[in-house]
């Protein structure tokens, strides 16, 4: 059937063709079927949406890239032919039916995800099936390789390449800003890419962006990392394993991250930069992605075995994630806290301990004995700070940067204890909600600074945390959240009295 091209300047993430219901009847297609649309020598396969008002009979509306792929002039006649679903839909069905997928099938699915050939509905079915039926490690390794091969790869001239990844889920986890300069100062190559926050208060890329550029081409990234030994870049712009960027579109609304997909996401980004040694930080504790030690050990085993299948040497560190790391949550606040540690501050201890512990493991993977001691030495000697500044300079920031240069939001509010007692818990999720309400991660200065952490004794009226914001409306919103959510739980030391044996005086 010949239909008149109409451009619709909207991109829903799918390759969509809008057809009039009468034309759909005529050629026998339904909503969510596919048509091949041809203009001269260019063809695009699009998913059908129907309308009886937006278009006239005889017209075809092509959304966003569906139009630009084949580039007709508006009004030109296009050939429109019904066509079948891609094979990958059958393989999604296979996974829905609980079957193991072959290497070829997995490659076909990933290829179709990256080329946007699967609809949101099909993609959601895939992720749901993966969530329920899972993948074994053979499938997961194939998934990882498929994700690597459908994106860019970066090959460094130096080797070996060291890398580090945190599974995430714990707020305030700014340790990358300390780990990378320590490892690079020891002479190892660590080209670290990070993500921005999706549902957290600050991703590492958001934090680094408060004082340096994070958006580089693969070529610039390679150059900077090879020159300074380290980089702290945003991975999102590099097109490394880009299937992830498409999949997140359904994982995020469903609030799921299937185990196999999580493993493959991490490993594919690392494989794409040809990492030889990888350390995975698995924060464990209530409110993280990994609530129990047993689960954390399962993750560790899977990462290590998957590493073997991918010829990457993987170590894992299970870390305490039951409360925020350090005291600062939010881009600028976290940058300042990390920089204070690099400048020699002995606080907060949790940040120093975690950063040096992780850096130490990386050093030992690189053949340096007594890694943690060595990491501490590099930090205390000022070598880590010097390397950090060198990297910041190479990333277009101020090479003389000081923590005092980083200024959090000017509007603040102190949340005080309603009663005296001990801090029994800090609820990660509530802290994140408060920081996000205050404007993080978009407003770099927004966030939360904790004055009391688990186990601290507090008196009624004492300050528990300060909320920082750049905007009064958001500050008020955050105050409301903090008051409602009670992010810091205070109890007496006697939590509950359970009557048992009694002495009775007669």
- When the beta carbons of 13 and 393 are compared against its own copies, the nearer one is 13
89 belongs to the binding site for its own copies (CB under 8 A): yes
- 405 catalytic residue (yes or no): no
- Number of neighbouring beta carbons within 10 Å of residue 301: 12
Angle at 289 between CA 317 and CA 495, to 5 degrees: 95
Distance between CA 424 and CA 457 in Å, rounded?
9
What is the torsional sign of CA 224, 278, 327, 207? positive
- Closest separation between CB of residue 326 and its own copies, Å? 23
Interface with its own copies in residues 225-254 (CB under 8 A): 249-250, 252-254
DSSP label at residue 172: T
128 belongs to the binding site for its own copies (CB under 8 A): yes
Residue 34 pairs in a beta bridge with: 47, 83
Q: Please tell me which residue in 112, 257, 281, 443 is annotated as part of the active site.
A: 257
472 belongs to the binding site for its own copies (CB under 8 A): no
Angle at 87 between CA 86 and CA 93, to 5 degrees: 110
For helices 120-133 and 259-272, give the axis angle rounded to 10 degrees: 110
The first and second tokens of residue 306, run together, are 């998957």
- When the beta carbons of 92 and 272 are compared against its own copies, the nearer one is 92
131 belongs to the binding site for its own copies (CB under 8 A): yes
Sole binder of its own copies in the list 5, 78, 113, 127 (CB under 8 A)? 127
Sole binder of its own copies in the list 4, 93, 259, 453 (CB under 8 A)? 93
290 belongs to the binding site for its own copies (CB under 8 A): no
- When the beta carbons of 130 and 318 are compared against its own copies, the nearer one is 130
CA distances from residue 288 to 213, 253, 503 in whole angstroms, order as listed: 29, 18, 45
- Closest separation between CB of residue 432 and its own copies, Å? 12
476 belongs to the binding site for its own copies (CB under 8 A): no
For 211, residues 6+ apart whose C-beta sits below 8 A from its C-beta are 335, 392, 397, 398, 401, 405, 406
43 belongs to the binding site for its own copies (CB under 8 A): no
359 belongs to the binding site for its own copies (CB under 8 A): no
> Is 417 within 8 Å of 459 (Cβ atoms)?
yes
Omega before 441 within 30 of 0, i.e. cis: yes
- Number of neighbouring beta carbons within 10 Å of residue 27: 15
Sole binder of its own copies in the list 21, 153, 256, 304 (CB under 8 A)? 256
36 belongs to the binding site for its own copies (CB under 8 A): no
- When the beta carbons of 31 and 42 are compared against its own copies, the nearer one is 31
407 belongs to the binding site for its own copies (CB under 8 A): no
133 belongs to the binding site for its own copies (CB under 8 A): yes
Active-site positions?
257
Contact residues toward its own copies (CB under 8 A) are: 9-13, 18, 25-26, 28, 30-33, 49, 51, 53-54, 85, 89, 92-93, 96, 98, 119-125, 127-129, 131-133, 198, 249-250, 252-256, 436, 439, 442
């Amino acid at each position: 059937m010949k239909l008149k091209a109409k451009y619709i300047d909207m991109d829903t993430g799918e390759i969509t063709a809008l057809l009039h219901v009468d034309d759909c009847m005529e050629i026998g297609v339904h909503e969510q079927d596919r048509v091949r649309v041809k203009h001269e020598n260019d063809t695009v396969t699009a998913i059908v949406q129907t309308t009886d008002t937006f278009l006239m009979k005889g017209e075809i509306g092509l959304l966003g890239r569906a139009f630009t792929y084949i580039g007709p002039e508006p009004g030109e006649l296009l050939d429109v032919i019904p066509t079948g679903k891609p094979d990958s839909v059958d393989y999604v069905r296979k996974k829905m039916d609980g079957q193991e997928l072959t290497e070829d099938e997995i490659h076909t699915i990933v290829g179709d995800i990256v080329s946007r050939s699967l609809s949101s509905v099909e993609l959601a079915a895939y992720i749901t099936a993966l969530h329920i039926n899972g993948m074994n490690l053979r499938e997961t390794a194939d998934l990882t390789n498929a994700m690597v091969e459908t994106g860019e790869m970066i090959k460094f001239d130096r080797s070996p390449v060291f890398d580090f990844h945190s599974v995430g889920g714990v707020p305030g986890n700014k340790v990358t800003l300390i780990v990378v300069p320590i490892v690079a100062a020891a002479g190892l190559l660590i080209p670290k890419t990070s993500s921005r926050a999706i549902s957290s208060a600050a991703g590492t890329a958001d934090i680094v962006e408060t004082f340096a550029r994070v958006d580089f081409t693969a070529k610039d990234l390679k150059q900077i990392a090879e020159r300074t030994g380290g980089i702290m870049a945003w991975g999102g712009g590099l097109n490394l394993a880009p299937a992830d960027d498409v999949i997140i579109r359904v994982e995020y609304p469903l609030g799921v991250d299937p185990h196999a997909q999580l493993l493959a996401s991490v490993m594919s980004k690392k494989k794409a930069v040809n990492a030889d040694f990888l350390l995975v930080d698995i924060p464990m504790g209530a409110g993280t992605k990994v609530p129990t030690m047993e689960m954390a050990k399962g993750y560790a085993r899977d990462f290590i075995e998957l590493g073997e299948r991918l010829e990457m040497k993987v170590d894992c560190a299970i870390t305490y994630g039951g409360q925020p790391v350090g005291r600062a949550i939010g881009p600028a606040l976290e940058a300042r806290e990390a920089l204070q540690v690099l400048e020699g501050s002995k606080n907060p201890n949790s940040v120093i301990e975690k950063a040096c512990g992780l850096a130490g493991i990386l050093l030992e993977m690189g053949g340096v004995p007594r890694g943690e001691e060595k990491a501490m030495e590099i930090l205390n000697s000022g070598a880590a700070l010097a390397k950090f500044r060198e990297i910041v300079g190479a990333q277009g920031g101020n090479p003389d940067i000081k923590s005092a240069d980083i200024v959090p939001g000017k509007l603040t509010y102190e949340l005080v204890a309603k009663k005296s007692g001990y801090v029994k818990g800090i609820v990660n999720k509530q802290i994140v909600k408060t920081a996000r309400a205050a404007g993080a991660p978009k407003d770099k200065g927004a966030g939360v600074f904790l004055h009391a952490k688990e186990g601290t004794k507090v008196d009624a009226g004492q300050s528990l945390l300060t909320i920082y914001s750049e905007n009064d409306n958001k500050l008020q919103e955050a105050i409301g959240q903090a008051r409602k959510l009670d992010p810091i739980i205070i109890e007496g030391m006697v939590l509950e009295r359970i009557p048992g044996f009694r002495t009775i005086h007669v």
